[in-house]
């Protein structure tokens, strides 16, 4: 199927339909798609002749229909290899076209795994914005792209090689205005240092409280939410106090260990500031014994899990994000990451909570009003998996059908059977 083609009017039935929020799926349900929108959702027994008029039909016995997944933290031009920065710099020297090729491959991998929306939090504008448009108009297959484009960092700071380097509140405000002018959906602020960038400190802030506040104030004025990169307690606190929409990583990590701050958690809960625990994939790989994890997390992973559990207990909303593109985080790995969030070996989420964090909860946390649930009028973003993910999250690893904005990107064609 050409990426530009939409499904038209299409009736899909399955043993279960989960709307992205309910405690249990609807048995023997259906979803009716009309172009790029959901037209109806319900039980097969309630279908009337008028509901199926001129609709192609696809029956998926044994499957569960659910909303397409939302991955709230990716990097479109990173390779996911052992050395993604080296890969990025090599491809950047070849030009924007080489970076775009990498991003196209990544987007295809994500959507075929069932991800129908990604939020990109760090990609050059000349790649991120044209790719967003190319997916939207059907020129290439992929999930809907929300993107910050270029992040904001300090001189020599985390991800400085594709960021605005700013060293004062005024420079930050100019960078925000530039990103909004050029088309950013979000503003990404590197409040602390990062692991991928030599000579930065991931457990200390890069920006002052005044600088973080300037970023959020200017972004609010221009109608853009802010996502902050923050590992350490002070960076997290500054992000929450300024009013960021989401805080990425949010580990409460210090040079001496983990130092959870209940007062910051209470502030985040009161302001509905979501955290995005991008470490979930690494925890999953540790559990599998593959040890593809930063050395410091090998000793601290139990404390990290406890931090996330405490944040959830405090009422802080959580949005699932993979950090796809950084070392050993593949763009098709998000379903496996969700499995790492649930159960005793994860961060204590139930299977339902893990699924919500990547569907309706993600949509709420990111301010998306037309996706995340199977609701008439919403985008036709649909995932069908073999089995029942509310009983076994491993079902997410068995996709049978993926529809993104009404375009079938994986699975059988229409036709009865």
Q: Where are the domains of the chain?
A: 9-67+375-410, 69-366
Measured distance CA(276)–CA(228) in Å, rounded: 10
CATH architecture of the domain with residue range 69-366: Alpha-Beta Barrel (3.20)
pLDDT for the residue 345: 72
- pTM for the model stands at 0.95
Same fold, 9-67+375-410 and 69-366: no
- Residues counted in the chain: 417
DSSP-assigned beta bridge partners for residue 226: 187
- 319-355 per-position pLDDT tens digit: 999 999 999 899 999 999 998 888 667 888 999 999 9
DSSP state of 192: B
Q: CB of 229 within 8 A of CB of 248?
A: yes
- 123-153 per-position pLDDT tens digit: 999 999 999 999 999 999 999 999 999 999 9
Share of the chain above pLDDT 70, in %: 91
- 368-391 per-position pLDDT tens digit: 999 999 999 999 999 999 999 999
pLDDT for the residue 6: 66
Measured distance CA(391)–CA(351) in Å, rounded: 7
Strands 9-17 and 26-34: antiparallel
- 229-247 per-position pLDDT tens digit: 999 999 999 999 999 999 9
Q: Which residue has the higher pLDDT, 311 or 416?
A: 311
Q: Which CATH number fits domain 9-67+375-410: 3.10.690.10, 3.40.50.300, 3.30.413.10, 2.30.40.10?
A: 2.30.40.10
Measured distance CA(166)–CA(226) in Å, rounded: 16
* Edge-to-edge strands, sheet with 9-17: 37-43, 26-34, 9-17, 56-67, 382-386, 399-404, 407-410
DSSP string, 322-342: --BTBTT--TT-HHHHHHHHB
């Amino acid at each position: 199927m050409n990426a530009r083609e939409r499904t038209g009017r299409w009736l899909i039935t399955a043993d279960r339909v989960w709307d992205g929020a309910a405690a249990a799926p609807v048995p023997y349900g259906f979803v009716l798609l009309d172009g790029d929108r959901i037209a109806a959702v319900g039980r097969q027994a309630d279908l009337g002749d008028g509901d199926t008029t001129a609709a192609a039909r696809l029956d998926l016995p044994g499957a569960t229909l659910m909303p397409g997944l939302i991955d709230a933290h990716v990097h479109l031009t990173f390779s996911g290899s052992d050395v993604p920065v080296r890969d990025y710099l090599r491809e950047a020297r070849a030009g924007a076209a080489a970076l775009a090729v990498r991003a196209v491959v990544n987007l295809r991998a994500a959507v075929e795994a069932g991800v129908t929306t990604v939020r990109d939090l760090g990609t050059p504008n000349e790649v991120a914005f044209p790719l967003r448009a190319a997916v939207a108009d059907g020129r290439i297959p992929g999930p809907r792209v929300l993107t910050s484009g270029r992040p904001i960092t300090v001189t020599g700071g985390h991800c400085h090689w594709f960021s605005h380097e700013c060293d004062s509140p005024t420079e930050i405000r100019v960078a925000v205005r530039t990103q909004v002018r050029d088309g950013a959906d979000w503003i990404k602020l590197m409040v602390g240092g990062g692991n991928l960038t030599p000579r930065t400190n991931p457990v200390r802030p890069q920006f002052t409280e005044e600088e973080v506040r300037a970023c959020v104030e200017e972004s609010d004025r221009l109608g853009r939410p802010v996502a902050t990169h923050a590992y350490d307690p002070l960076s997290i606190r500054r992000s929450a106090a300024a009013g960021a929409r989401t805080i990425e990583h949010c580990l409460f990590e210090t040079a001496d260990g983990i130092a959870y701050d209940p007062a910051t958690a209470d502030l985040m809960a009161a302001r509905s500031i979501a955290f995005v625990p991008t470490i979930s994939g690494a925890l999953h790989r540790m559990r599998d014994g593959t040890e593809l994890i930063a050395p410091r997390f090998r000793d601290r992973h139990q404390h990290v899990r406890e931090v996330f559990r405490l944040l959830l207990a405090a009422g802080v909303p959580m949005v699932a994000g993979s950090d796809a593109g950084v070392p050993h985080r593949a763009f098709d790995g998000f379903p496996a990451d969700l499995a790492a969030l649930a159960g005793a070996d994860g961060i204590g989420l139930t299977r339902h909570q893990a699924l919500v964090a990547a569907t309706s909860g993600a949509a709420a946390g990111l301010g998306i009003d037309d996706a995340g649930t199977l609701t008439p009028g919403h985008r036709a973003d649909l995932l069908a998996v073999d089995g029942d993910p509310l009983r076994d999250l491993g079902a997410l690893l068995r996709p049978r059908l993926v529809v993104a904005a009404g375009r079938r990107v994986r699975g059988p064609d229409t036709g009865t059977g």
